[in-house]
């Protein structure tokens, strides 16, 4: 057998600035200069990753001020963007919460309540780096999920398989690692959980529950005295002592422990989210082992990925297109604007990704999916909108362009830098805290020298449109 290269980043070696910037772009949305400087002084990559994962116990919660449900949905989204871009001391907490939002999906339109969406998203935010078993258990009877996957209509007399099927297919095991008999058994276990539509309260209906013992992934379930816990047994089996059945369509996994298959399934998904490339087999194996050994604690699982040498390979550093949410966060950071000022929500729909509105239960796609004519056209509109907001008083008002690192006046743009267009570009990049590759800088430098003094304020939107802003 070929030798598998060790996955641990060389111990005791100080990561390069490029490594840290890459790590921050993937975990904290952008590489903020002050964070780069601080982390460079820590030491090993393990120490750097531990600092990034040191999330607050209380990430805060939105306080609604609007009465209308749709307005509260917008308030929740603005609050979340601000946490990602400005307010969280460790933005990986919000990035992981958004990952879970796209994994354990619910959609505002079907759920019908901003408060229920907030409850679910705050569950993800609080448990983003906690324990997968606890997160899946909490999510399963949260009313937004009950409504979205119709488990609020799952009763003994009329079974609804949606949630039980997706729990295995999309949430924990992956396609083909169970049989239809397992779906039926799990569906029975999850009967009885419903909600009161007008109040949004969870309700247990004992008369809806099928409490007969069932076989599920090689184990007997529905045997506990408390029927309200029977559904949770399915999560315990999947992440515990279950076995992929002989009738499963993924032949290679037949007879394997479901906890290992689940750990591999989610390890691949985490790698694709953070690295963007096809995960190497050795990485998946190492992450699986960390997940199983840690009883599905998320933080050591994620730490194994972020400290692996494979995560810092050239192909990984160059292999991820920012999603629309990540692009908007980068633009908010560069301009220093709050989300409600920039009003990105209607633009998000055109780019193909708006929080609270995943397209289906499978969530959003990744990476190259975002590179298409329609989505990139809307990114252009987004960049122009951000630039216009940043300089809303530039021509008729305070005469300033407001950016993350400070302001620059119209007088400076047109006069002080009048014969120094490249120096103006560098000053704007400094104020926006954006670094460009040499090729991007050269292209914008050449363009700036061709602009009239009246046009040079357009450099703000052009910086936001640079290729460097669209990759993480």
Is residue 135, in this structure, part of any structural domain at all?
A: no
Query: b vs e for 274-306, b when ≥16 Cβ sit within 10 Å of the residue's Cβ?
Result: bbbbebbeebbbbbbebbbebebbbbebbbbbb
Is residue 85, in this structure, part of any structural domain at all?
A: no
Which residue bears the tokens 């920012």? 322
Is residue 369, in this structure, part of any structural domain at all?
A: yes
Is residue 50, in this structure, part of any structural domain at all?
A: no
Report the percent of the chain where pLDDT is more than 70: 97
What count of other Cβ atoms lies within 10 Å of the Cβ of residue 115?
16
| CA 468 to centroid of chain Cα atoms | 20
Q: At what angle do helices 45-52 and 17-27 cross, to 10 degrees?
A: 30
Is residue 224, in this structure, part of any structural domain at all?
A: no
Contact partners, residue 395, CB within 8 Å, separation at least 6: 410
Q: Which two tokens stand for residue 372?
A: 């298409």
Is residue 126, in this structure, part of any structural domain at all?
A: no
Q: What is the pLDDT of residue 13?
A: 61
Torsion 424-427-432-438 (CA) sign: positive
Q: What is the pTM of this model?
A: 0.95
Structural domain boundaries enclosing 419: 324-350+362-470
Using pLDDT thresholds of 50, 70 and 90, give the confidence band for residue 2: very low
Is residue 264, in this structure, part of any structural domain at all?
A: no
Mean pLDDT over 223-231 rounds to 95
The Cα 44–Cα 14 span in angstroms is 5
Domain count for the chain = 1
State pLDDT tens for residues 440-460: 999 999 999 999 999 999 999
State pLDDT tens for residues 293-350: 999 999 999 999 999 999 999 999 998 999 999 999 999 999 999 999 997 788 899 9
Q: What is the pLDDT of residue 12?
A: 53
What count of other Cβ atoms lies within 10 Å of the Cβ of residue 237?
23
State pLDDT tens for residues 235-249: 999 999 999 999 999
Is residue 179, in this structure, part of any structural domain at all?
A: no
Does residue 9 register a pLDDT over 70? no
Q: What is the pLDDT of residue 80?
A: 98
């Amino acid at each position: 057998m070929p030798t598998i290269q060790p996955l641990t980043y060389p111990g005791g070696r100080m990561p390069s600035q490029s490594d840290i910037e890459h790590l921050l772009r993937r975990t904290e949305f952008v590489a903020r200069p002050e964070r780069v400087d601080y982390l460079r002084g820590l030491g090993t990559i393990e120490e750097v990753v531990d600092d990034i994962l040191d999330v607050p116990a209380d990430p805060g919660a939105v306080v609604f001020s609007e009465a209308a449900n749709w307005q509260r949905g917008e308030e929740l989204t603005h609050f979340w963007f601000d946490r990602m871009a400005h307010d969280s001391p460790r933005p990986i907490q919000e990035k992981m919460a958004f990952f879970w939002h796209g994994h354990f999906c619910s959609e505002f339109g079907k759920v019908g309540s901003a408060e229920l969406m907030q409850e679910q998203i705050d569950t993800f935010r609080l448990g983003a780096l906690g324990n997968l078993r606890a997160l899946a258990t909490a999510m399963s009877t949260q009313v937004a999920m009950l409504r979205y996957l119709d488990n609020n209509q799952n009763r003994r007399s009329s079974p609804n398989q949606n949630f039980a099927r997706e729990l295995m297919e999309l949430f924990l095991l992956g396609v083909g690692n169970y049989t239809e008999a397992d779906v039926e058994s799990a569906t029975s276990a999850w009967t009885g959980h419903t909600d009161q539509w007008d109040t949004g309260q969870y309700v247990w209906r004992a008369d809806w529950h099928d409490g007969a013992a069932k076989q599920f992934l090689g184990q007997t379930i529905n045997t506990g005295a408390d029927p309200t816990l029977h559904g949770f047994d399915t999560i315990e089996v999947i992440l515990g002592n279950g076995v992929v059945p002989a009738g499963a369509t993924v032949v290679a996994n037949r007879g394997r422990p479901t906890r290992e298959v689940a750990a591999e399934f989610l390890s691949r998904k985490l790698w694709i989210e953070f690295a963007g490339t096809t995960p190497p087999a050795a990485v998946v194996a190492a992450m699986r082992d960390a997940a199983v050994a840690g009883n599905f604690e998320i933080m050591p699982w994620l730490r194994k990925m972020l400290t692996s040498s494979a995560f810092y390979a050239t192909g990984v550093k160059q292999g991820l297109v920012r999603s629309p949410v990540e692009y908007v966060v980068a633009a908010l950071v560069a301009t220093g604007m709050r989300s409600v000022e920039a009003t990105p929500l209607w633009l998000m729909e055109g780019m193909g990704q708006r929080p609270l509105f995943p397209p289906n239960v499978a969530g959003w796609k990744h990476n190259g999916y975002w590179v298409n004519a329609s989505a990139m056209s809307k990114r252009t509109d987004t960049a122009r909108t951000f630039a216009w907001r940043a300089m809303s008083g530039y021509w008729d008002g305070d005469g300033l362009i407001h950016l993350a690192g400070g302001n620059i006046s119209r007088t400076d743009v047109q006069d002080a830098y009048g014969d120094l267009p490249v120096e103006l570009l560098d000053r704007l990049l400094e104020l926006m805290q954006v670094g460009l590759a040499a090729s991007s800088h050269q292209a914008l430098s050449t363009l700036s020298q061709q602009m009239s003094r009246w046009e040079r304020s357009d450099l703000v939107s052009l910086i936001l449109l640079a290729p460097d802003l669209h990759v993480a």
